[in-house]
Amino acid sequence: MFSIGKLVMLAALIGAVLLAYRWFHRLEKLRERARRAAAQPRLVTEEMVKCKVCGVYVPARGTRTCGYADCPFER
C-alpha cells in the first residue's frame, strides 16, 4: 500500500526531474542565443575627419591624400 514516506519521495523525485528539465531547457536557450550572436556580423566604426581642402570625410587613422595639392593628409 502507499505510505506517506513513499508519496513524499515520489513527489520529490518528480520535482527534481522537472527542475532538471527546466534547467537544461534554459541552458539550451542561452546556448542558442550565443550561437545567433556569434553568427551576426559586428559593425566596425571608425573616427572620421573632414579634409580642410575638399570637404570629404576620411578615416582618422591611415588617411591618404585626396589628390588636391593642398591636401593636409600624408601621401
Domain count along the chain:
2
- Within this chain, do residues 29 and 50 fall inside the same structural domain, yes or no? no
Domain residues for 58?
A: 45-75
pTM of the model: 0.47
Q: Domain check: are 58 and 71 in the same one?
A: yes
Ramachandran angles phi, psi of 57, nearest 5°: -85, 130
pLDDT tens digit sequence for 1-14: 779 999 999 999 99
Q: Are residues 3 and 35 in the same domain?
A: yes
Percent of the chain surpassing pLDDT 70 = 92
Q: List pLDDT tens digits, range 45-66.
A: 888 888 877 788 878 777 677 6
Rounded CA-CA distance 11/16 in Å is 9
Both 51 and 29 in a single domain? no
Which has more pLDDT, 75 or 7? 7
Co-location of 1 and 35 in the same domain: yes
More confident residue, 73 or 3: 3
Res 54: pLDDT: 78
